A and B are shown apart, each in its own frame.
Chain A
Amino acid sequence: MSRPQRPSRTPNPAPSAADAAGAETAQPVDETTRADSGLSRRRFVASGAASAAGVGAAALFAQQARAAAADREDRPIGIPDEIPRTRNEAPDPAEFPMNGAQVFARACADEGLEALFCAPGNYQVINAIAAEGIPTYGGRTEGSMCAAADGFIRVTGEVAACSGTEGPGFTNMIMNIGAANAARTPLLVLASNMTVGGDDTERGIQRGYQQPTTVGMKKYGKRLITPNRIHEYAAYAFRHLRTGVPRPVHLDFTGEVARARFDSPDDLLYYHDRGTYRTDSLPHPSKVDTEKAVEMIRKAERPIVVASTGVFYDRAWDVLRTVAERADIAVVESGPMRGHFPDSHPLSVSTGPDALLSADLVIFVGQYSMPNVGEVAFDPDAKVIRIDPDAADIGRNLPVDLGLVASARGGLEALAEALPPASRPAWRAELAAARDAFEKQNAEWYELGLKHSAATDTIHPAVIAQELSSFLYSGDLPKEQTTVVSGGYGIARYTRRWLRAHRPGQILNGAYQYGAIGPDVGYTVGAGAAVMNGVGPQEPYRGAPVFGITGDAGMGYSGMEFETLAKYRIPAVMIVYNNNAWGVYGSARRATRSMHMYLFQENLRYDKIAEGLGARGEYVTSPEQLREALPRSYEMAANDGVSTLINCQAIKEFWTNEYPPGLPRKVEPGCMAYYH
């Protein structure tokens, strides 16, 4: 039976007149087909010019182009005076009488909200928060500003907020709320939401019920509809943000609440001080459970602590170190941020994956996004202790031999008190050997990367990773200085192997359990703001440039935030791994009519986008060019506050076995952690 013939379709429509008059550098998608149809771009331009006025018209076009270029020169990209002026205005904290938004903003200030990232909308609330003196940032999309707040929190451990307008502004944030939820970030999500009185009317625009949209992505949420309970719900929000296992809190403000007027505290219900509506107390384990844990550690020959999210948010890095050194317990990091146990410590195994399988006792501390059996590279028969404040989560995904209901700090403090000293020299030696083996493999991959780079006139990801690592940790910069947003998809499989964490909050693992690859530039805005303001563990490095890494796919989601970096003079250097394709393009290799969906145009100039947005751009196609671009870009960021996008040209085939090691496997936990 023969297949019916389908009607033929023109693969690409003929260019419009506007398209034809565009830049000469624009490449026709399918010149051959167009030529066959008798209407190639060049023919169209040529015939159009000839029919208009021949050579005279061409000269006119050239003259117009020169005039336009001159006009651009006369109109440089600039920061309007209103931006620095209004940022530097003195705070004007609200006093009664206040509206609902001001009451909420006062509560945020009292709670030490460290920053707000937003796009305009939810006006009463964002204006009130700004007036309180809380640092505020306005960006290009609510989604990227949500990521910026998440990034800020992940490198500081402090609470920050994002905000957007009702309807589309709020829904623009959804992907990044999901990412923050998976990362267990204490993110305060704010949005306006029209009026209660207008419910179900479709009056005006942007109506929508928000809370159902964030089900499964938050710890707590509330549509605020009762004006005099506004302060009570601020207390709800911070109680959830500041205690237990953190996750996003989502509040949406109806007009009746945000604009409500209160003449005095008497007009408000539940108007209490934060010392009375929540506690800073952390749960500690029972003595019996602690003794059991100590006995298991004492019997173990190769114990290891998985130090994750809770250790960072509890600022428990000092007691973690005490516990590790007291009994020669290895430590491996996991989670959406790294640095709470330095990679350079002799007991660190974050860069020694070969040792993980040897561990006979694994102690998960603050591992909120819990891996399943086999997702971590431990022996399935190893004993497991889990320390977590949520008893209902202990035993989920991974069976445990002992659970300690305690915060990360509480659990570690109990162990620090109860553990007898112990020495495990053989285990230390094994950890050192594992780290050496990992470095050796990196060195081999770098050599392969150099060969692949030379063979393709591009830059292999192993070379990018090694050059970046050399610049950050082996040159003139203090190795603990630079905060790095480690994002991207395939590129992260390489860069995470080379990035090193020497102090808390130094590495933000952009793509984490939710797997969002797009927020990286947004994360960099937030991390950059945190370092610029010297918040939390970033204080010693105040003003230092941050580095970010993303891919060309990620650039498509949040690249416009280079304008935000430039507008606020946040010093950043962003590496964009440009391999002309989505990282998952291999999924189309054996499919019919599919590959085009996975590919981009080749050699796209993301660097020029950055330039067009008021930042710098560099396009590098060789290891030597990258080696020169890194210090040049850093100097511009450090001295002039000018951010740079380094567009690193690669090829998609680097992810295949044609160019070993292809798309490297990850091993978790440790520096390669991506899922948990």
Chain B
Amino acid sequence: MTVVTRALRAAAFTSLGLTAAAAGQSEAAPGTGPADDQAVAAVNPTPYTQAAAKRGRTHYLRHCQICHGFDGRALENIDFEATDLTDPDRWRFGTTDGDLFRSTKFGAGLDMPPFEAELDDEEIWDLVHYLRSLGPEEYRAAAEPEPAPPSASEDSEENRP
């Protein structure tokens, strides 16, 4: 999938997300300062690779699964009603890559905490790739063609789509 295609698909996500938000949620979206605006507009600058998604999974397991569950369905959370990450129709704070980045970095609503102290931007973008992999298959990003590894790299095998 090209970057343009992914951007179009992200636009479709946005439409779905806003509809869901208008129908149900009453919490204010997080602050929309310059950093937020930039994030919302962004498309994931890290090309999708299995290695990137795998790095994202590590961050997910460490930071996200306690609320969203090991499979993203949030079936076992006890703190509050966390969002089902496998169902973009229920995402209340947007569904673009940028929305996911923004919610992760700056928090969302009253319950979703910010992770800017724990994860740098590159790590959050990896996490966004993994979050996409939890949802419906038609919304997942396809891998970019992998550049031929200049030398033996521990990621080389994982990078194959």
Contact = CB atoms under 8 A, between A and B. Distances in A.
Interface of A: 357, 372-375, 377, 379-380, 441, 515, 583-584, 586-587, 589-590, 656-658, 660-667
13 contacts: A374-B60, A374-B70, A375-B66, A380-B57, A380-B58, A584-B78, A584-B80, A586-B79, A586-B110, A586-B111, A590-B27, A663-B113, A664-B113
B111 A441 contact: no
Interface string B11-26: 0000000000000111
Contacts of A663: 79, 111, 113
B84 to A, nearest CB: 13
B8 interface: no
B8 to A, nearest CB: 31
A590 B25 contact: yes
Given A380-B61, A589-B27, A657 B109 contact: yes
Nearest to A357: B62
Contacts, number: 66
Contacts of A587: 79-81
A375 to B, nearest CB: 8
Nearest to B61: A374
Contacts of B80: 584, 586-587, 589
A384 to B, nearest CB: 14
Given A374-B65, A374-B70, A657-B107, A584 B27 contact: no
B116 to A, nearest CB: 11
Nearest to B78: A584
A375 B110 CA distance: 24
A496 B25 CA distance: 33
Contacts of A662: 110-111, 113
Given A589-B27, A590-B81, A664-B113, 18 more contacts: A373-B61, A373-B70, A374-B60, A375-B65, A375-B66, A377-B62, A380-B57, A380-B58, A586-B79, A587-B79, A587-B80, A590-B24, A657-B109, A657-B110, A663-B113, A665-B66, A666-B66, A667-B62
B62 to A, nearest CB: 5
A597 to B, nearest CB: 14
Interface in B56-108: 57-58, 60-63, 65-66, 70, 78-81, 107
A674 to B, nearest CB: 9
Nearest to A372: B70
Contacts of A586: 79-81, 110-111
How would you classify the secondary structure of chain A's contact residues: helix, strand, loop or mixed?
A: loop
Contacts of A515: 78
Contacts of A377: 62
Contact of B63 (A375, A661, A665): A665
Interface in B37-70: 57-58, 60-63, 65-66, 70
A73 B77 CA distance: 50
Contacts of B27: 589-590
B152 interface: no
A482 B140 CA distance: 54
B134 interface: no
7 closest pairs, A vs B, by CB? A374-B61, A586-B80, A656-B110, A377-B62, A587-B80, A657-B107, A374-B65
A357 B62 CA distance: 9
Contact of B117 (A380, A441, A667): A441
Interface string B102-143: 000001011111100100000000000000000000000000
Contacts of B63: 665
B62 A657 contact: no
A393 to B, nearest CB: 20
Nearest to B108: A657
Nearest to B154: A381
A492 B125 CA distance: 31
Nearest to A666: B66
Contacts of A584: 78-80
Nearest to B63: A665
Given A587-B81, A590-B26, A665 B113 contact: yes
A670 to B, nearest CB: 13
Given A656-B110, A660-B114, A379 B58 contact: yes
Contacts of B58: 357, 379-380
A476 B117 CA distance: 35
Contacts of B114: 657, 660
Nearest to B24: A590
A589 B110 contact: yes
Contacts of B78: 515, 584
A144 to B, nearest CB: 23
A660 B114 CA distance: 9
B89 to A, nearest CB: 16
A584 B58 CA distance: 27
Contact of B113 (A357, A380, A441, A657): A657
Contacts of A374: 60-62, 65, 70
A397 to B, nearest CB: 11
Contacts of B70: 372-374
A452 to B, nearest CB: 15
Nearest to B109: A657
Contacts of B81: 586-587, 590
Contacts of B30: 657
B27 to A, nearest CB: 7
Contacts of A667: 62
Contact of A657 (B24, B65, B112, B117): B112
B24 to A, nearest CB: 7
Contacts of B26: 590
Nearest to A354: B118
B150 to A, nearest CB: 23
Contacts of A656: 110-111
A666 B112 CA distance: 14
A657 B111 contact: yes
A667 B64 CA distance: 11
Nearest to B57: A380
Q: A377, A586, A666: which has the most chain B beta carbons within 10 Å? A: A586
A661 B112 CA distance: 11
A658 B79 contact: no
A584 B80 CA distance: 6
B156 to A, nearest CB: 16
A666 B78 CA distance: 13
A589 B49 CA distance: 38
A258 B35 CA distance: 73
Contacts of A583: 79
A583 B114 CA distance: 20
Q: A372, A441, A657: which has the most chain B beta carbons within 10 Å? A: A657
Nearest to A586: B80
B104 to A, nearest CB: 13
B114 to A, nearest CB: 7
Q: B80, B109, B112, B113: which has the most chain A beta carbons within 10 Å? A: B80
Nearest to A356: B62
Contacts of A379: 58
Nearest to A493: B79
Contacts of B57: 380
A590 B111 CA distance: 11
Nearest to A378: B62
Q: A587, A664, A666: which has the most chain B beta carbons within 10 Å? A: A587
